[in-house]
Amino acid sequence: MISEQILKGLRDRDPRGIARAISLVEENDPLADEILASIDDGLVEEAMVLGITGPPGAGKSTLTDRIISGYRSQEKRVGVIAIDPSSPISGGAILGDRIRMMGHALDQDVVVRSMATRGRLGGLCAAAGAAVRILAGSGCSVIIIETVGVGQSEMDIIRLADITALVLAPGLGDDIQAMKAGLLEVADIIVVNKADCSGADTLAMDMESIVREGRDKEKILTQVRKTVASEGKGIDELLNTIECVNTSHRESGERRVRRQKAYDLEVLDWAIEILKPSILEKIYKSDFQRKGDPRQLAAKLLEKDS
C-alpha cells in the first residue's frame, strides 16, 4: 500500500513522493526494489545527466542555480542532486547547496535533493545512481549532480554523468588542482567562472592550451567557456555548449558506452554496500591480532568465505 502511494506520487510528480522514494533507497528499504523496478526505462534513457564538479570557492552552486533557471526558461523539468558533506554526528547532509537554491523552492518542476556523502571519498553516496533514475522517472529531462568540492576524490562524478563540467575560478590555484586531480582528462567542458576577476583570461588560455596538448584524436576537444554566474553572464553560451556535447555523445555512441560503464560500477558499489555489514561482523568476531598488514588480514578473511 505504501509503495503504491509512492509510485502514484512519482507519476503525479509529487515532491513528497519523490523525496520518500529516494529516502527508501538510501535506507536500503525493501520497498526500494519495487519502486526502482517500476521506473520507465524510456524516461531514464531520454534524461540528460550533467555533472558539475570542481574545487571549493569556484562558484559551483551559483552556477548550478543559473543553469537551472536557463533550463526552466526552456520549460524543461530539472532534478538536482546536491552531494553535501556529511554531518559527523548524524551522518546526514548539511544541506548547504540546497539553501543556495531556495530561489526555485516554489517551482514544482525543480526537484532538489541533498544527499550525504556518508564518508565516501568519491563524493557520491551509493544511492546517487538510484536517485538519478527516480528523478528521471518523475519526468525530469535534465538531472544535475553537483558534488562537494573535494578535488582529487571527485572523480566518481564521471560514473553517473553523461556530461561533466569542471568549474574553475581565477586565484584559487585551480589549474594545478585540476591537473593533480586528473579532472581535466575527464571533463567535457571546462567552465572558468568569475570571469570578471583578474586572471580569468589567463586561466582560460592556460586551460585551452592544456586541452589542445592532451587532445585525444578519437574524441571531441574539451570545450572551455567563461561565465560570471553571479550576474548570469555566459550562461546561454554554456547551455548551447552542453547541448552540442550531448548531441555529439549520442550520435557517436559515447553516451551509451559511459552509461554501460556507470551501470557496471554501480552494481559493484551496491555489492560492496550489501556485503559490508556481514564482513564487518566477521571482523569484529575474529580472534586475529590487531597488528601487521591489514590488507593481508583482509585477504585471509575473504579466503575463508571462498
Alpha-carbon dihedral of residues 122, 127, 132, 138, nearest 10 degrees? -160
Q: Taking each helix axis from N to C terminus, what angle separates 235-252 and 60-73, rounded to the nearest 10 degrees?
A: 80
- For domain 39-252, the CATH superfamily is P-loop containing nucleotide triphosphate hydrolases (3.40.50.300)
With bands split at pLDDT 50, 70 and 90, how would you rate the model's confidence at 90? very low
pTM of the model: 0.87
Q: Which three cell numbers stand for residue 248?
A: 555529439
Residue closest to 149 by CA, chosen among 80, 85, 82, 55: 55
Residue bearing the bigger pLDDT, 104 or 163: 163
Instruction: Dump pLDDT digits (tens) for 222-273.
Output: 899 999 999 999 999 999 999 999 999 999 999 999 999 988 888 888 888 7
Residue given cell 574553475 in the structure block? 168
In the chain, CATH 3.40.50.300 covers: 39-252
Number of H helices, E strands in the chain: 12, 7
With bands split at pLDDT 50, 70 and 90, how would you rate the model's confidence at 287? confident
- How much is the pLDDT for 94? 47
**Cβ contact 83:115 at 8 Å:** yes
Instruction: Dump pLDDT digits (tens) for 4-56.
Output: 888 888 889 998 899 999 999 888 888 888 899 999 999 999 999 999 988 88
The 189-192 sheet, strands edge to edge: 110-116, 78-84, 142-146, 48-53, 163-168, 189-192, 223-226
